[in-house]
Amino acid sequence: MPTTTLLWLLPVFPLLAFVLIVLFTNRNKALSHTLAVGAAFLSWLGAMVIFVRALNIGPEALAEHPIRSWVNWLPTGHGFLKIGVMVDPLTAAVLFFVAWTIFMIFLYSVGYHNFGYPEGDHDQKGLPPHGATVVDEHGHKHRVPSIEPMYSRFFAYIGLFAAGMYLLAISDNLLTLFVGWEIMGLCSYLLIGFWFAKPSARAAGIKAFMTTRVGDVFMLLGIAYLYMATGTLSFPDIFKPEMLHQLANLNSGVLGLSAAGLIGVLLFIGTVGKSAQWPLHVWLPDAMEGPTPVSAMIHAATMVSAGVYMVIRMFPLLKAGSLNGAFLSPLAVMGFIGGFTALFAATIAVAQNDIKRVLAYSTISQLGYMVAALGAGSYIAATFHLITHAFFKALLFLGSGSVIHGMEHGVLHTGNHEVDPQDMFNMGGLARKMPITFWTFVIGGFALSGFPVLTAGFWSKDMILSASFFGGHPVIFWTLAIAAFLTAFYTMRQITLTFLGKPRTPEAEHAHETPWTMTVPLMVLAFFAFTAGWVGIPEHFPLLGGLLPDWFTHWVGAAYETLLQQAGMFKEIAEEGSLVPLYTSLTVSLGGLFFGWLVYKDVTSPDPATDPLKKWLGPVHTLLQNKYYFDELYGILFIRPAYWFAEVLTFRWLDRGLIDGILHAIARAVFDLGKALAYWIDLPIISGAGDLIGNIVRTFGRAFRVVQTGRVQDYMVAAMTSVVAFGALVYYLLVFAH
Amino acid sequence: MAFLQNHLLSWILFTPALAAVVILFFPKEKANFHRWFAFIASLVPLALSIWLWAAFNPNAAGFQFQEQAPWFTAVHSTYHLGVDGIALTMVLLTTLLTSAALLASFSIQERVQTYMVLFLLMETGMLGVFMALDLVFFYVFWEVSLIPMFFLISQWGSEKGVRVWGRKREAKERDYAAFKFLLYTMAGSLGLLAAIFLLGMVSGSFDLPTVMAHWKTVGGALWGIPVATIKAIVFWAFVIAFAIKVPVWPFHTWLPDAHTAAPTPGSMILAGVMLKLGAFGFLRFILPLYPEQAKIFAGALAFLGMMSIVMGAFASFGQTDFKRLVAYSSVNHMGFVILGIAAAAYAVSADPTTAAIALNGAVLQMFNHGLSAAGMFFLVGVIYERAHTRDLREFGGLWPLVPVYGGILLFTSMASLGLPGLNGFVSEFLVVRGAWPVFTLFTALSMLGLLFTGGYILKGLRDVLQGPLNTRWVGHLTDISVREIAVIAPLMVLMLWIGIWPMWILDVINKAAVHLLALL
């Protein structure tokens, strides 16, 4: 099959699964998940074929002549807006991780939603399953997990979601990228609010949609501006040296930015929303209300990555927009926002007790790393971390889901539903109960912490640190270094509290390992969390450098290297000569892991108040635990004023009060005038004279009263007769007089 | 066949009126017969307008399928019909939505015969406005479409509620709404009538193509008043009449009242087609006849469009009545039409591509809003018929009770929200792209409206479908019926089709827009 055909098909498979499940198979759970997982498999297969074909072409050739196919989509006066698909080295790398993570998450969902278990005793659509009672052959009653009541719907949603992600990844233009982007936004809303009957889940879905929409409307403006300025939205057409220079030299009239600069900033605000960067980060932690595979997929591997992918994709434009050195140029803004977010979110993660929330803040923080890397000018480091992070964070989320699942087993066993199966203080000692989950989680956690040499996270984080050391501002480098220390610390805190020591509750005592559909994806992802970094070992790395080729830098670098050189925007960063970033990287990662273990190894009580950090930090800990009160702040600053503006000002005061008030005043004036005329003029003068006539008319009136039946139908017949007469006239004029 | 083809527009225009006459001859007790007859009769103009669409040549400039015959010879007014790509799109929208609305009218129980007659007459009225190429003729149909809607609201409208319009002055909600609708529109159309006659006096003809050909060169004086002054008076009379009809903020307060009080099919037509009459007036008269004035006042118009978008979204967000929420969404969406028209009027000479894009967006937005607003009103009606309330606070968690309805509501809501992949996005994107270079600030500010579009759409979904199940409805709500699905399904197909592959419709609109702009 031609590569371009295959490319168009990638989003079609899961989309088709969505349509089929919604329209036909939603009553049959097995068929529904077969369709969805089958579609994910086909897309995975297609993506792998494309990946291999891309490898055979080679990076330079592929960057020079990407595999492309396009069609005219919108007529615009005398031209057309084209949309299409393409594969260049960047797309190929992104497709690789997207395909793997999506396929693994689909498979995992089967087990996570308790396929094979009976329907629940009291389960309702819109609420998580509560468990079922089964009677075995000896007549004993057992509590077992129950299957998700909206099982098919879940697979339909993630099918649509996967379609959106594939569409985004293969787009050769910003428009279809935006379509995929928004389809994922919708799915994220639906999946976060999957258990919509829970008010917290419902609110979280809406919060996610609205917060990201803030970014989206800015992005839409950026797209419109770009389209206006260049007459195209296709990447290869925008990324031409002359086009970039033209945009860089055009003054936008806003904040001293060039057109490229303003477009870059507007697009980046879209990323701030989608990739949950400060100050639009608030939705992501709440998004943990969704089922765990959703968290993994949307909030680790795919959707939030999409935000970063978009700015990586637009890097030449961002670079061009930063040439004139305006204070708020895109790359400067990204360096600041990314660095700040990385540290800011890491501090919050330290004080969270919910196993998924820790990971949520960690995601925000890691995305901050990628954004900061771009700010420092290294799109390669950003892409590298994007990919390794997708693998190990998906692994961690799926691992945490497995833990929660195991804990829910325990809860069903003891019957004590007061115990929160997501609170890490209720766990402890799960390493022996759930060995596969434990080991894979450790691999993921160490990758996240940047455990030296072995893990993927080390290589990508090292690349970012050295990029920001050599290419960025020292403040950003040290910010990222401190954040890296905190990352290792909270990760080890999580591992220690969850898996090590002794079980702190009876529920943790009765937790057990999850089925193969869940553990196999864990193992596959663990493999990549280990090895994905080895393809990008820098050539100048002490001892190891040069043993394996630095394939990744070469491959992704090729995507824009020639272009940037041609445009005169390429800056070779000399990365040799200083080992500061390497030593920093080693110190913070090992130090963080060690302290995390040291502080939490002796926690024995399930009471979160015994957190040692709480004692040491006091009110600061409360501040962190409450996420710096951003939710409350936004409530006061934006949400409540918006309600007031809508309900009181716009509707009650302006529409009902002022505008309708004026209309009513006019109506009253006319009405009163009419009454006055009737009373003072009509009655004495006209009626007086009229009475005489009236008497005569009355006589006639009696005669014609038959017609005035007071029935609407009769009037209608009269009206109709006139219309027919009129129609006949028209017909005459039309046909005979013509 | 040849007779049919030569008079295709007349057939489309008068088949509904003819059907209305036929219905009168059957006994009023046969309610079901009237329903089916009216519905099937409405399929004829729909089929004919699809034929019209197929036979239309988008590449040709000017009006097609013209028919002309002497009519009111004393004032040189003729029976003159014709369509360009824009009118064609509106004709298709009208015939489609009338059929959908008539199928939705099966739940009307009172005075079915009269209702159906009025509804069909209304269709003729609306089609006439889109087809007329003679100003007097245009005006007649403009009024003909108005009257049946007045009766639909005041006779078949919602029976609850009272509105106070002064001390000791109260009116039933539907009477209040019907009169407000009628008087407000009449106030506009009185000026329209005067304007049309002044225009006829000055140019010596009511025939639109003739007027357009001579309009720029007409000079001199009428009754001692310079023609330039008269032209200015006519311009403002047109603007006010059409602005009320669209409605443009701040002339919009009749809309939420009328839409909320009207019976469901009435709201579908009101929002789906009637609002377009005003926007169509801008395109048919103001742009071609007054390009200079339109350009001068385009900034003000764009400001009002922006205010419609923003204030409409906020007002909608502030509602607790589901139907009023949807009603205000029309103000919000029609704001994009106005913004697009303003941008096109401003950019026409300096940047024709931008003007064409803006105009494409405006016209497509008219069509798209017709689909999504009619769909939303219908869905509100479906739940209202079952629950007898529209108060959002009384619903909650209904999705498990009405799963199919929930899915359809979600889909239609997303189309209304402008989700990429569905129709609304395409037109809003085009308008934003068209307006950005011309009215950058207003375009940026209207993004606030776009944000709150999300706010009110999600609010509606949140209060109806999501949240803890309000147990009061268990056993009282049935899912959407097959007939009801048949009403909404064609609209949904079009929403998706235009969202994914807009070429088929936008090609026609685009060529018409290019022809129109070339005239200016």
In three-state form (DSSP H/G/I as H, E/B as E, the rest C), the secondary structure along B268-319 is HHHHHHHHHHHHHHHHHHHHHHCHHHHHHHHHHHHHHHHHHHHHHHHHHHCC
Angle CA B147–B150–B155, to nearest 5: 125
A202 vs A197: CA distance, rounded Å: 7
List the single best residue of A213, A643, A675 to mutate versus B (max B Cβ within 10 A): A213
Q: Which of A209, A649, A655 sits opposite B253 (nearest CB)?
A: A655
Tokens of A527: 């493999």
Residues 1-20 of B with CB under 8 A from A: 7, 10, 14, 17-18, 20
Domain boundary at A579, A596, A625, which? A625
Evaluate the omega torsion of the peptide bond into residue B247 and state whether it is cis, within 30 degrees of 0.
yes
pLDDT tens readout for residues A289-310: 888 888 877 777 788 889 999 9
Rounded to the nearest angstrom, the minimum Cα separation between A28 and chain B is 16
Burial class (CB in 10 A: 0-12, 13-18, 19+), A34: middle
Partner residues linked to B422 by β-bridges: B420
Rounded to the nearest angstrom, the minimum Cα separation between A609 and chain B is 32
Partner residues linked to B162 by β-bridges: B172
Burial class (CB in 10 A: 0-12, 13-18, 19+), B197: middle
Q: Which helix (H) or strand (E) holds B208?
A: helix B208-214
Q: How many CB pairs under 8 A join A and B?
A: 202
Nearest to A229 by CA among A213, A249, A212, A214: A249
User: How large is the average pLDDT for residues A660-687?
Assistant: 80
Q: Which of A181, A183, A197 sits opposite B468 (nearest CB)?
A: A197
Nearest to B138 by CA among B150, B127, B151: B127
Rounded to the nearest angstrom, the minimum Cα separation between B335 and chain A is 16
Question: Is A523 domain-assigned?
Answer: yes
Rounded to the nearest angstrom, the minimum Cα separation between B201 and chain A is 25
In angstroms, how far apart are the furthest CA atoms of chain B? Answer: 74
Q: What's the pLDDT band for A686 if we cut at 50, 70, 90? A: low
Torsion angles phi and psi, residue B50, rounded to 5: -70, -40
pLDDT over threshold 70, residue A709: no
Q: Which helix (H) or strand (E) holds A430?
A: helix A430-433
Q: Which of B69, B357, B421 sits opposite A76 (nearest CB)?
A: B357
Q: How many CB atoms lie within 10 A of CB B220?
A: 8
DSSP 8-class letter at A280: S
Alpha-carbon separation of residue B433 from A536, A704, B355, B360 (angstroms): 41, 64, 10, 11
What pLDDT sits at residue B50? 95
What pLDDT sits at residue A265? 93
Nearest to A387 by CA among A316, A320, A302, A319: A302
Q: Does A425 lie in the same domain as A326?
A: yes
Contact call for residues A448 and A457 (beta carbons, < 8 A): yes
Partner residues linked to B80 by β-bridges: B68
Q: Which of A210, A655, A727 sits opposite B14 (nearest CB)?
A: A727
* Chain B residues within 8 A of A727 when measuring between CB atoms: 14, 17-18, 21
Q: Assess B141–A contact: CB distance below 8 Å, yes or no.
A: no
Burial class (CB in 10 A: 0-12, 13-18, 19+), A705: exposed
pLDDT over threshold 90, residue A451: no
- Find, in chain A, the residue whose alpha carbon is nearest to that of B168: A668
Domain boundary at A577, A594, A625, which? A625
List the single best residue of A12, A220, A730 to mutate versus B (max B Cβ within 10 A): A220
Q: What is the pTM of this model?
A: 0.90
Question: Is A653 domain-assigned?
Answer: no
Q: Assess B319–A contact: CB distance below 8 Å, yes or no.
A: yes
B508 vs A119: CA distance, rounded Å: 53
List CB contacts of A653: < 8 A, sequence separation 6 or more. Answer: none
pLDDT over threshold 90, residue A578: no
Q: Does A221 lie in the same domain as A324?
A: yes
- Find, in chain A, the residue whose alpha carbon is nearest to that of B457: A206
Nearest to A60 by CA among A549, A536, A562, A571: A562
Full domain range(s) for residue A726: 713-738
What pLDDT sits at residue B316? 94
CB contact under 8 A, B466 and A221: no
Q: Assess B168–A contact: CB distance below 8 Å, yes or no.
A: no
B210 vs B188: CA distance, rounded Å: 25
What pLDDT sits at residue A20? 93
* Chain A residues within 8 A of B397 when measuring between CB atoms: 126, 196-197
User: How large is the average pLDDT for residues A434-461?
Assistant: 87
Q: Which helix (H) or strand (E) holds B65?
A: strand B64-72
A9 vs A95: CA distance, rounded Å: 13
Torsion angles phi and psi, residue B206, rounded to 5: -105, 5
Contact call for residues A613 and A512 (beta carbons, < 8 A): no
List CB contacts of B494: < 8 A, sequence separation 6 or more. Answer: B96, B371, B423
Given a cut of 70, the residues of chain B with pLDDT beneath it are none
Residue whose entry in the numeric block shows the structure tokens 């590569």: A3
A186 vs A220: CA distance, rounded Å: 16
Q: Which of A22, A206, A660 sits opposite B458 (nearest CB)?
A: A206
Tokens of A17: 């699964």
Q: At what angle do helices A580-600 and A474-499 cross, to 10 degrees?
A: 30
Is the alpha carbon torsion for A730, A735, A738, B6 positive or negative? positive
Give the three-class secondary structure for B226.
strand
Residues 460-519 of B with CB under 8 A from A: 462, 465-469, 502-503, 506-507, 510-511, 513-514
* Chain A residues within 8 A of B71 when measuring between CB atoms: 730, 733
A296 vs A106: CA distance, rounded Å: 11
Tokens of B244: 């009320």
User: How large is the average pLDDT for residues A443-462?
Assistant: 86
Question: Is A657 domain-assigned?
Answer: no
Q: Which of A650, A668, A734 sits opposite B311 (nearest CB)?
A: A650
Question: Is A364 domain-assigned?
Answer: yes
Alpha-carbon separation of residue A55 from A1, A64, B320 (angstroms): 17, 14, 57
Rounded to the nearest angstrom, the minimum Cα separation between B331 and chain A is 12
Is the alpha carbon torsion for A648, A652, A655, A661 positive or negative? negative
DSSP 8-class letter at B60: S
Partner residues linked to A258 by β-bridges: A251
User: How large is the average pLDDT for residues A201-214?
Assistant: 92
Q: At what angle do helices B8-24 and B31-55 cross, to 10 degrees?
A: 180
pLDDT over threshold 80, residue A720: no
* Chain A residues within 8 A of B17 when measuring between CB atoms: 723, 727
What pLDDT sits at residue A722? 66
Rounded to the nearest angstrom, the minimum Cα separation between A459 and chain B is 37
Tokens of B201: 């006096």
What pLDDT sits at residue A701? 63
Contact call for residues B456 and B329 (beta carbons, < 8 A): yes
Domain boundary at A625, A656, A689, which? A625
Question: Is A706 domain-assigned?
Answer: no
A126 vs A150: CA distance, rounded Å: 7
Q: Are strands B64-72 and A79-87 parallel, antiparallel or unpaired?
A: unpaired
CB contact under 8 A, A642 and B360: no
* Chain B residues within 8 A of A723 when measuring between CB atoms: 17, 20-21, 121
Question: Is A216 domain-assigned?
Answer: yes
Contact call for residues A478 and A465 (beta carbons, < 8 A): no
Q: Does A160 lie in the same domain as A28?
A: yes
A326 vs A331: CA distance, rounded Å: 10
- Find, in chain A, the residue whose alpha carbon is nearest to that of B508: A75
What pLDDT sits at residue B225? 81
Alpha-carbon separation of residue B336 from A221, B251, B299, B333 (angstroms): 15, 16, 14, 6
Q: Assess B407–A contact: CB distance below 8 Å, yes or no.
A: yes
CB contact under 8 A, B353 and A716: no
List CB contacts of A183: < 8 A, sequence separation 6 or more. Answer: A160, A161, A163, A164, A167, B419, B420, B421
Rounded to the nearest angstrom, the minimum Cα separation between B458 and chain A is 7
State the number of CA atoms in the 13 A half-sphere of A300 facing the CB: 33
Contact call for residues B419 and A216 (beta carbons, < 8 A): no
Q: Which of A652, A660, A738 sits opposite B253 (nearest CB)?
A: A660
Is the alpha carbon torsion for A640, A645, A646, A647 positive or negative? positive
Q: Assess B450–A contact: CB distance below 8 Å, yes or no.
A: yes
Q: Assess B67–A contact: CB distance below 8 Å, yes or no.
A: yes
Q: Are strands B77-83 and B221-222 parallel, antiparallel or unpaired?
A: unpaired
- Chain mean pLDDT for chain A: 85
What pLDDT sits at residue B405? 93
Q: What's the pLDDT band for A707 if we cut at 50, 70, 90? A: low
* Chain B residues within 8 A of A218 when measuring between CB atoms: 447
- Find, in chain B, the residue whose alpha carbon is nearest to that of A232: B433
Q: Which of A197, A713, A720 sits opposite B397 (nearest CB)?
A: A197
Q: Note the residue count of chain B.
A: 520
* Chain B residues within 8 A of A79 when measuring between CB atoms: 353
CB contact under 8 A, A642 and B317: yes
User: How large is the average pLDDT for residues A158-172?
Assistant: 93
Tokens of B74: 């004393």
Torsion angles phi and psi, residue A365, rounded to 5: -65, -45
What is the tally of helices (H) and strands (E) in chain B?
21, 6
Residue whose entry in the numeric block shows the structure tokens 């990324």: A239
* Chain B residues within 8 A of A77 when measuring between CB atoms: 352-353, 355-357, 510, 513-514
Rounded to the nearest angstrom, the minimum Cα separation between B481 and chain A is 16
